[in-house]
Amino acid sequence: MNVTRCAAIVCVLSTCLRGNELYVPSEKYVVIQDAIDDAVDGDTVIVGDGEWSGFFNVNLDLLGKAITVRSENGPENCVIRGTGNEQGFRGDMTNATIMGFTITQCSIGIDANGGKITNCYMSSNGTGMRLSGKTMVQNCTIDHNTNRGVITVGGAPVFRNCLITRNSAFSGGGMRLTGSPILYNCTVTFNDAIASGGGIHTLFSQSDSIMRNLIVWGNTPDNIVVAPGSGPPRVRYSNIEGGYNGLGNIDIDPLLGEDGQLAPDSPCIDAGNPNFVPLIGERDLDGNRRVLHGRVDMGAYEFAKWADTNDDFMVDLQDYETFASCPLGAVEKGCESVDLDNDGELTLLDFGEFQAFFGNQY
């Protein structure tokens, strides 16, 4: 085939795959559902800053389309608010991505069967999320919901880098799990239940449920409850209050900050699965690289203090002076703290990571 013609075909195909961007609000779209209705596979609906409520801004149905619906500037700036009876998102989301919303005061924040939910904040709803199928949930905070933080109803939903905290219910305050859910690097803390399973309650679950690198702590009346007849989940390299049988598990106060971050002397630092491999581009709940110092931490957050060379909880000019004094190449004595990828060599990649930390307080 003619090379020029081939390149043109690739260009056309890539444009088709990229799709169009539909903005709300705009001259054409005043409400979110109208933009979703017009979207076709590959399109992105971008929702502007503000509070969205009322008809066609709640009970949003993605209609089984392979589209992305995202906020323009993150969940702190874009709120979907119900009146107590609505759902935030619902319907067939098998091929869809939802990204960057705060969802509040709905009966269910997100009711999903498949698809991907990322960088969302579910707070003060009835149920934070009701999930089935192979739904992927990444980097979400689910808190202060009154009828459980998460319910799974079969399938194998996956949770990565999520904080589930201060939710409540009759049972399974934080998470009520059926099917074969998979959890990596989640923090489940300070949830409560009237009966049992304040943190995680597995009911009719399969024994192939996988839980790795978790912190499950401070839940009442208990942290993990496996219902009779339910296959116990395979929990590994996790900090479970009250203990849980499994390789690498510990039962030590995780020393968490108010929002679940790790204190400098937390036993969860560098205590996760030593063979853990993050997804390409994966970040923790604060946006830090998922593995910062050779071995993943337990919980939703990495302890991002490694660029703080003088332990003053700031990455500033003093740390830069330490970095600048260390030559590129094999790490010399005294320069270990600036080998940010822990590969034994000081390179420009380490300098790039240092720049990402600069000016931050930990």
What are the pLDDT digits (tens) for 51-103? 999 999 999 999 999 999 999 999 999 999 999 999 999 989 999 999 999 99
pLDDT recorded at residue 311: 66
Distance in angstroms (rounded) separating the CA atoms of residues 229 and 176: 15
Tell me the two tokens of residue 317.
């000019």
Under 8 Å between Cβ of 240 and 251 = yes
Angle at 74 between CA 71 and CA 77, to 5 degrees: 90
* pLDDT score for 334: 79
Q: Tell me the backbone φ, ψ of residue 86, rounded to 5 degrees.
A: -90, 170
Residues 6 or more apart whose Cβ sits within 8 Å of residue 70: 44, 45, 46, 47, 97, 98, 99, 100, 101
Structure tokens, 348: 């420009």
Tokens 């590959």 correspond to 42
Using 70 as the pLDDT threshold, list the residues of the chain that sit under it: 1-17, 206, 305-306, 311, 313, 341-342, 361-362
